Structure 1
Amino acid sequence: MMILGILLSIVAIGFFCWLLFTLAVFALPLFAGVTMGVWAYHAGAGWPGGIAVGAVAAFLTLFVGQIVLMLARPVWLRVGVALAFVAPAAIAGFYATHGIVKHAMPSETWQLIFSVIGAIAVGITAFVRVTTLAAPAPTGQSIARA
């Protein structure tokens, strides 16, 4: 039974790491949606209104970010928008990694080192995913007909 528990723990950690890497791109839209949903709820919209406002805010954040990444010409604007999506993902990666390693190692220095490595890995993954999601279609290519 002990071996089964260890194996299930490894599978669970692997699953949550996969989930973190997959959903890291959506950290900023989730934050915006939750913030706007809570604001709407406290403004008197109730539960349905708060959920609706939060969902619309999250969708608009993701949609506008992707559109700006696709259509913006200045590199500084594209990098700024990409960093706006990457920063919350890196912070989430830091705390997720810290939550895992604090149970595995007693040294706070090594916990911090591994947490920073996790934040960098999640940040790079989020950057790659954000930039590939918004990659413009190649122009000037046509399909040759036989």
Structure 2
Amino acid sequence: MLALGLLLNFAGIGLFCWLIFTLAIYALPFFVGLYVFMLALHGGAGILAAPLVGIAAGGITLAVGQMAFAMTRSVSVRAIIAALFAIPATLAGYQVVFAMSQIGVPSLAWREIFACLGAIFIGGTAWTRLTIFTEIRPLDSGRAVANDPQPVLTAAAHQK
């Protein structure tokens, strides 16, 4: 029974860590949704309307962030957008790892070290998940890029 308990604890911690790393990219939309929910609730929207407004705000934040990241060609703008998503994930990662380390680490110094390392890894994961599958298209002024909606007009097209 002890071995089964240890195995299940190990599997549970592994599942929890997988969830943290998978959901790290959604920290900014969650925080925006929670903030808008609290504003709506304190503004008198009611118990039924406030969650809907918060969920809509979080979804819009995620959609606008991903669309802005996908549509821009500037590396600096992409870095700013990725940082906007990675910084809340880093803060959330710090808090989660610090809370989890209180279970088994008695020293405050080691808890802080583990929390800082967890924040770096979780923030880096959020940054990587946002930037890994995007490629920057080259800017060619002389010819059209394959994915552009309107091709560059040539001299022959101007004469017609």
Quote the residue 2:118 is aligned against.
118
* Greater Rg over alpha carbons, structure: 2
1:3 is displaced (CA, Å) by 2.5
Find 2:146's aligned residue among 137, 140, 145: 140
Q: Residues 73-127 of structure 1, C-alpha deviation per residue, up to 9 Å, x if partnerless?
A: 3322211111110011111111111122222222221111111111111111111
2:125 partner letter: T
CA distance in 2: counterparts of 1:46 and 1:36, whole angstroms: 13
TM-score of the aligned structures, taking structure 2 as reference length = 0.79
Who is 1:144 aligned against? Answer: none
Which residues of 2 match residues 82-97 of structure 1 at below 5 A? 82-97=82-97
Counterparts of 1:71-110 in structure 2, within 5 Å, are: 71-110=71-110
CA RMSD of aligned residues (A): 1.9
Cα distance in 1 for residues equivalent to 2:117 and 2:136: 33
For the structure 1 residues 103 and 67, does the alpha-carbon distance in structure 2 shift closer, same or farther, using more than 3 Å as the test? same
TM-superposed CA distance for 1:45, in Å, is 1.2
Q: What residue identity is the alignment partner of 2:21? A: F
For structure 2, the residue ranges without an aligned partner over 5 or more in a row are 138-144, 148-160
Is there any run of 5+ residues in structure 1 with no aligned partner, and where? 142-146
Of structures 1 and 2, the one scoring higher in RCO (CA 8 A, sep 6+) is 1
- Which position in structure 2 is the counterpart of 1:56? 56
The percentage of aligned residue pairs carrying the same residue is 39
Q: Which has the higher helix share?
A: 1
Establish whether residue 65 from structure 1 lines up as the match of residue 71 from structure 2: no
Counterpart position of 2:157? none
CA distance in 2, matches of 1:8, 1:94: 25
* 1:43 matched to 2:43: yes
Structure 1 residue 41 displacement after superposition: 1.5
Post-superposition Cα deviations, 1:15-60, rounded to whole Å, max 9, x if no partner, equal 1100000100000001101110111121111122101111110011
Deviation at 1:137, TM superposition (A): 8.7
Quote the Cα distance in structure 2 between the aligned partners of 1:47 and 1:132: 39
Letter in 1 for 2:104: A
- Matched letter for residue 125 of structure 1: T
1:24 is matched by which residue type in structure 2? A
Q: What does residue 158 of structure 2 align with?
A: none
Residue aligned with 1:140, SS: coil
Task: Indicate the residue corresponding to 2:151 in structure 1.
Answer: none
SS in 1 for 2:104: coil
